[in-house]
Chain A
Amino acid sequence: MAHRDGIVKAKTRRSKRFLQSREPKLTEGQKSSMIIRGGNSSETVSQALKDVYALKKPNAVLYKRKNMVRPFDDSTALEFFSKKSDCSLFLFGSHNKKRPNNLIFGRMFDFHVLDMFELGIERFVSLRDVKTDTCPEGTKPLLVFAGELFETDREHQRLRNLLTDFFCGPRVSAVRLAGLEHVLHFTALEGKIYMRSYKVLLKKSGCRTPRIQLQDMGPSFDFVMRRNHMASDDLYKTAHRQPRGVKPKKKKNISHDAFGTRLGRLHMQKQDLDKLQTRKMKGLRKRRGDRGGAAARGFFFTDSSGF
């Protein structure tokens, strides 16, 4: 791709398609995430990053090499990575004496950091240690948040929004009922967040809705809240602004009645009923002789089935 005067010229059809896929669109597709390993990371952190990458495949990029980045001090390196790989969600893992087993969940708007939450891992059970069969890659997980802290505390509310954004899969219009296999459960209690991942088993029950049994699966984390960086209110509002074309236009003058029939409303101009164009009945045409006669004049409205 050639750059000149700030205009990027695509030389091939393929590069043109690539550039178009990176442009802002009216309705956005799934967000990709980048999982980055920090300057120094322990066994726990590396395994945790690999597990989250496994959960988020294929819309995730894993940067395994050490990156000397401090997100809370200087976020330009993260923004550069995000621009290069076109990812708006990130997970940065690092380990040092002051902050052991550190994970930073974050998201971007227009390639600038919007929100960042630093969570420390206290206890971690990896995918490898749990010896059960897992769900296929790319299943949309069910998300459950428990705990009144998620409602009352402002930071927890934002964290809930961030976790929803991170773990919810692609936006779909319909879902296969038997395919709801994976559930991620987050519990907030006393400044700690417990994340568990289960496989859903649908058992027979007396009625149509099945009975649920859960089977332990996948990574489980015990997080402790550390620092955070939340976006200012107006930046947050700007990030939510939707373009004009997205809102569906309400169809006016169409209604449905109790039986399900579709009724429409037509608005007509005022009509002069004397001058209405109706079907011409040759037989009823006034003849010269009958002018003064007692021939009845009437309007005949027939339906299209004829007479």
Chain B
Amino acid sequence: MASCSIEDVLAKAERDEAEKLKGITVNKELDLEFDPGNLLAFDKNRIDTREFKDNKREDFIRSLARDNTQLLINEMWKLPTERVEEIIVAKLPDPSTPLPREKPAPKPKPPTKWEQFAKLKGIQKKKKTNLVWDEVHKEWRRRWGYKRAKDDTKEWLIEVPENADPSEHQFAKRNKAKKERVAKNEYNRLKNIARAQKIKVPGMGLAPTPRQPKAELAQAVNVAKISTASVGKFQDNLPKEKTPKNTGKKRKFQPLIGDFSSEKQKQLDLLKVMDSKKPRLDITKAVNKQMREEDRESAQKSKKGFGKKGRRGNMSGKGKGKAGGKGKAPKGKGRKPHMKQGKR
């Protein structure tokens, strides 16, 4: 008897549950695919075309929409909820539909000159306060910018230092220094940007600016003159232009009183070379000499032989010479080009 009543009770409970859920259950052949992150539902079931006739179309679509929306809402109500200021809010997971991006992903910017230096030296960024106490005005002012704490261009009294020219305008001097600092900062910032975007910026004096000083123009003229295939050897001078004298290799001399130990070492090495019986071999000179000999020989041969043969012989000689030269010269020391006007 008791068992029957238990079964009855259980059956009744099940029926009650089913009654409760009747309002929200929807029967579908295939389950829908959900993407709660995007509030998306996708129904793959076949749509019966017979019911899709003209007069009943709207009702059919509405009932289909109602069923699908009910299933989607059921899914949304299963999500974890939390209370934010008395409103019940459901936390959404990440969207699972892959949507394409608007723009390509940003490339990491290369570090600026200062950042490279700081990384090299291990300099850490120090957090600074926003406001600084200004003694003069007796108030808190910004560290930099408009109405900053220590602004030396805004002083009303500047003492003329002892070693300065008495007629020099000290206020104008400070303003000019500030302008130069600002311009230098801007220039460095643009160079950093150009380096980041790998845009080639021409060196000093070669980019056209509104006002160019005489020195920059002269430098630009010199650069243009030697920008030919033969490095400016055959460029005529303008009337009244002087050929610049200081082109050519600069010789660097050691300072008079420098590193004593290295000087001593150098002198001893020199004595050792002078003492030794064997001659020192300058490989570059030797190779060049050899190649010249070979060229001379092949030139003589071509003079003796017939035209065609000679030409062929010449070519082979030259080919042999070059190959031989390359084979003989060790790695790293190639045949240096013979330039009368020195290297830049």
**A residues whose Cβ falls under 8 Å from a Cβ of B:** 5-7, 9, 23-26, 28, 31, 88, 107-111, 114, 140-148, 150-151, 160-161, 164-165, 168, 171-178, 180, 183, 185, 187, 189-190, 194, 196, 198, 200, 202, 205-214, 216, 236, 238-243
Chain B min CB distance to A203 (Å)? 8
Closest chain B residue to A123, Cβ basis? B57
Which residues 28-49 in B have Cβ within 8 Å of A in the complex?
37-47, 49
Q: Cβ of B327 < 8 Å from any Cβ of A? A: no
Residues of B within 8 A of A185 (CB): 61, 64-65, 68-69
Chain B min CB distance to A85 (Å)? 13
| Bound-complex Cα distance A6 to B197 (A) | 10
Judging by beta carbons under 8 Å apart, are B104 and A238 in contact?
yes
Q: Cβ of B249 < 8 Å from any Cβ of A? A: no
Judging by beta carbons under 8 Å apart, are B24 and A209 in contact?
yes
| Bound-complex Cα distance A243 to B74 (A) | 34
Residues of A within 8 A of B73 (CB): 180, 200, 202, 209-210, 212
Contacts A5-B194, A240-B101 given; does A150 touch B42 at CB 8 Å? yes
Residues of B within 8 A of A24 (CB): 102-106
Judging by beta carbons under 8 Å apart, are B103 and A143 in contact?
no
Judging by beta carbons under 8 Å apart, are B44 and A151 in contact?
yes
Contacts A144-B65, A176-B87, A194-B61 given; does A243 touch B24 at CB 8 Å? no
Q: Cβ of B158 < 8 Å from any Cβ of A? A: no
Residues of A within 8 A of B1 (CB): none
Interface 1/0s, chain B 74-103, versus A by CB < 8 A? 101100011010011111100101111111
Judging by beta carbons under 8 Å apart, are A212 and B90 in contact?
no
Choose among B23, B87, B99 the residue that contacts A205 (Cβ–Cβ < 8 A): B23
State which size class the interface on B falls in.
35 or more
| Bound-complex Cα distance A202 to B52 (A) | 27
Contacts A26-B106, A142-B72 given; does A189 touch B49 at CB 8 Å? yes
Chain B interface, DSSP helix/strand/loop, else mixed = mixed
Judging by beta carbons under 8 Å apart, are A161 and B99 in contact?
yes
**B residues whose Cβ falls under 8 Å from a Cβ of A:** 19-24, 37-47, 49, 52, 61-62, 64-66, 68-70, 72-74, 76-77, 81-82, 84, 87-92, 95, 97-106, 190, 193-194, 197, 199, 201
| Bound-complex Cα distance A147 to B23 (A) | 24
| Bound-complex Cα distance A218 to B192 (A) | 53
Closest chain B residue to A114, Cβ basis? B100
A selection of 15 A-B contacts at a CB cut-off of 8 Å is: A6-B197, A6-B199, A24-B104, A31-B102, A107-B100, A143-B38, A146-B64, A164-B99, A174-B82, A176-B89, A180-B39, A189-B52, A210-B73, A238-B104, A240-B98
Chain B min CB distance to A194 (Å)? 6
Chain A min CB distance to B42 (Å)? 5
| Bound-complex Cα distance A287 to B101 (A) | 77
Total A-B residue contacts, Cβ distance less than 8 Å: 191
Choose among A5, A144, A171 the residue that contacts B199 (Cβ–Cβ < 8 A): A5
| Bound-complex Cα distance A25 to B102 (A) | 10
Judging by beta carbons under 8 Å apart, are B47 and A146 in contact?
yes
The 7 nearest A-B residue pairs measured at CB:
A206-B20, A243-B105, A239-B100, A205-B23, A24-B103, A146-B43, A185-B65
Chain B min CB distance to A123 (Å)? 10
Chain B min CB distance to A146 (Å)? 4
Judging by beta carbons under 8 Å apart, are B70 and A109 in contact?
no
Judging by beta carbons under 8 Å apart, are B106 and A25 in contact?
yes
Judging by beta carbons under 8 Å apart, are B65 and A183 in contact?
yes
Judging by beta carbons under 8 Å apart, are B92 and A175 in contact?
yes
Residues of B within 8 A of A144 (CB): 40-43, 65, 68-69, 72
Choose among A151, A161, A174, A216 the residue that contacts B89 (Cβ–Cβ < 8 A): A174
Chain A min CB distance to B44 (Å)? 5
Residues of B within 8 A of A161 (CB): 97, 99
Choose among B19, B46, B62, B97 the residue that contacts A216 (Cβ–Cβ < 8 A): B62
Judging by beta carbons under 8 Å apart, are B69 and A165 in contact?
no
Given contacts A28-B101, A147-B47, A174-B90, list 20 more A-B pairs with CB under 8 A. Answer: A5-B201, A24-B106, A88-B103, A109-B104, A142-B39, A148-B45, A151-B44, A175-B76, A176-B88, A177-B90, A178-B87, A180-B76, A183-B72, A190-B49, A196-B62, A196-B65, A206-B22, A212-B73, A236-B100, A242-B105
| Bound-complex Cα distance A210 to B105 (A) | 42
Judging by beta carbons under 8 Å apart, are A177 and B76 in contact?
yes
| Bound-complex Cα distance A264 to B190 (A) | 49
Chain A min CB distance to B101 (Å)? 6
| Bound-complex Cα distance A55 to B150 (A) | 55
Residues of A within 8 A of B82 (CB): 174
Residues of B within 8 A of A196 (CB): 61-62, 65
Chain B min CB distance to A248 (Å)? 9
